[in-house]
C-alpha cells in the first residue's frame, strides 16, 4: 500500500511539474509578442518628443536628449545632456500631446527628479477623468538644474487588455510551482535545506544573488546595476573606488555608458541605505566614491 502511494505521489509531482512548465512556456510566448515591444519603443519616441519641446522652450536646439530608459513596471526615464529649466505647464502640455499622438494610455504619474539628490522637484498625476487628476503648482517654474523626468503608467488599457490570458496562465504556473515546491520541501530532510548566503552591511543584509537588501522585516529590491555597484563597495569597505573602475566593471560588458548614469545609481543606493546612519556612500570629488561603514 505504501509503495502504491509513493508511485501515485510521484505521478502527481510529474503532472504538476509538466503542467507548470507548459503554462509558463505559453506565458513566455505570449509576453514576447510585438505589442509589448511596440509599446515600449512608442513610449520612448513619445518621451524624446517631449524632451525636444522642453529643450526648445529653453532656446536649446543643440544639446542632446539621453536615451530613454525603460525602468520596468511601465515606468520610463527621460534625461538630458545639459541643465535646463522646466515650466510645469509646458511639461504637462507636451506630455499630453505626445502621448495622445502615440495612442498611449492617458493615466500616468509624472515626476521631475533632481539628479543631485534624487529628490522629487515636481510631480503630477493624470487620470481618465480629468477632474480627478492632480496637477499642482502649474505656474511655478523649476529653475535651471539637472533633472530626470519619469513617467509611470498607472492603468494600462487598450493594448494591455489582450494580456488577460497570459496573466491567468502565469497565476496557474506560479501556483503549480509553489505546490510542487511545497511537496518537495516536505519530503526533503531538513539538513538538505541550505540557508541563503548574505553579506552584512551595518543593519542590512545584502543578498547579491537575489538582488535585494533586508533590514529587519523590510525587503528592498535592487536593480541589476545597483546590485553590481553595491557588491563592489561591500568588497572594498572604507576604500575609495575610482569612477573609471566602477563604470568599467559595471557597464563595460553591458552596453554603452551614458551621461550621469553612475551618479544616478549612486543616488538611488544612498536612498535605499539611508535608514542606517552608520553607512554612508560619500563622493570623493574628482576621484570616485567610498562606502563608509562605521
Give 275-284 pLDDT, tens digit per residue.
Answer: 999 999 999 9
User: Which residue among 156, 184, 211 closes a domain?
Assistant: 156
Whether 41 and 151 map to the same domain: the answer is yes
Res 1: pLDDT? 40
Quote the mean pLDDT of the chain: 80
The domain in which residue 268 lies consists of 199-293
Q: Are residues 133 and 243 in the same domain?
A: no
pLDDT of residue 157: 57
Q: Are residues 272 and 207 in the same domain?
A: yes
Query: Are 262 and 150 contained in the same domain?
Result: no
* 10 and 79 inside one domain: no
Residue 200, judged by CB atoms within 10 A of its CB (0-12, 13-18, 19+), counts as: exposed
Q: Is 59 exposed, middle or buried (0-12, 13-18, 19+ CB in 10 A)?
A: exposed
Place of cell 533586508: 214
Per DSSP, the three-state class of 87 is: coil
Last residue of a domain, one of 99, 129, 156: 156
99 and 28 within one domain: no
pLDDT for position 3: 42
Whether 211 and 144 share a structural domain = no
Regarding whether 88 and 45 lie in a shared domain, the answer is yes
pTM assigned to the model: 0.43
Q: How confident is the model at residue 34 (pLDDT cuts 50, 70, 90)?
A: very low
Helix (H, G, I), strand (E, B) or coil at 126: strand
* Domain match, 140 and 175 both: no
Check which CATH number belongs to the domain holding 232 and give it. Answer: 1.10.10.10
* Domains of the chain: total: 3
188 and 216, same domain (yes or no): no
What separation in angstroms does the CA of 42 have from each of 38, 48, 75, 100? 6, 10, 13, 11
Q: How far is CA 44 from CA 16, 51, 103, 133, 231, in A?
A: 40, 10, 13, 23, 31
Query: Taking residues 227-241, what's their average pLDDT?
Result: 93
55 pLDDT higher than 80: yes
> Pick from 140, 170, 192: which residue ends a domain?
192
Judge if 42 and 149 occupy the same domain: yes
Span 110-152, pLDDT tens digits: 999 999 999 999 999 998 766 555 666 666 788 999 999 999 9
Domain identity same for 91 and 45:
yes
Amino acid at each position: 500500500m505504501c509503495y502504491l502511494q509513493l508511485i501515485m505521489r510521484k505521478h502527481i509531482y510529474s503532472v504538476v511539474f509538466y503542467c507548470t512548465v507548459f503554462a509558463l512556456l505559453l506565458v513566455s510566448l505570449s509576453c514576447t509578442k510585438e505589442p509589448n515591444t511596440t509599446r515600449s519603443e512608442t513610449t520612448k519616441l513619445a518621451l524624446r518628443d517631449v524632451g525636444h519641446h522642453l529643450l526648445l522652450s529653453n532656446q536649446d536646439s543643440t544639446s542632446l536628449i539621453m536615451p530613454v530608459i525603460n525602468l520596468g513596471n511601465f515606468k520610463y526615464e527621460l534625461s538630458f545632456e545639459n541643465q535646463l529649466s522646466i515650466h510645469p505647464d509646458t511639461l504637462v502640455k507636451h506630455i499630453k500631446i505626445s502621448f495622445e499622438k502615440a495612442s498611449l494610455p492617458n493615466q500616468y504619474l509624472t515626476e521631475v527628479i533632481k539628479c543631485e539628490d534624487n529628490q522629487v522637484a515636481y510631480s503630477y498625476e493624470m487620470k481618465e477623468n480629468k477632474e480627478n487628476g492632480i496637477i499642482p503648482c502649474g505656474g511655478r517654474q523649476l529653475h535651471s538644474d539637472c533633472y530626470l523626468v519619469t513617467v509611470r503608467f498607472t492603468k494600462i488599457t487598450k493594448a494591455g487588455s489582450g494580456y488577460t490570458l497570459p496573466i491567468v496562465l502565469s497565476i496557474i504556473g506560479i501556483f503549480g510551482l509553489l505546490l510542487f515546491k511545497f511537496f518537495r520541501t516536505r519530503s526533503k530532510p531538513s539538513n538538505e535545506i541550505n540557508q541563503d548566503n548574505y553579506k552584512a552591511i551595518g543593519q542590512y543584509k545584502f543578498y547579491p544573488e537575489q538582488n535585494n537588501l533586508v533590514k529587519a522585516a523590510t525587503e528592498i529590491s535592487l536593480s541589476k546595476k545597483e546590485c553590481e555597484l553595491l557588491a563592489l563597495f561591500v568588497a572594498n569597505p572604507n576604500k575609495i573606488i575610482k569612477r573609471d573602475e566602477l563604470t568599467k566593471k559595471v557597464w563595460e560588458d553591458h552596453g554603452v555608458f551614458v551621461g550621469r548614469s553612475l551618479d544616478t545609481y549612486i543616488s538611488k543606493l544612498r536612498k535605499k541605505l539611508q535608514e542606517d546612519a552608520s553607512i554612508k556612500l560619500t563622493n570623493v570629488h574628482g576621484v570616485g566614491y567610498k562606502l563608509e561603514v562605521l
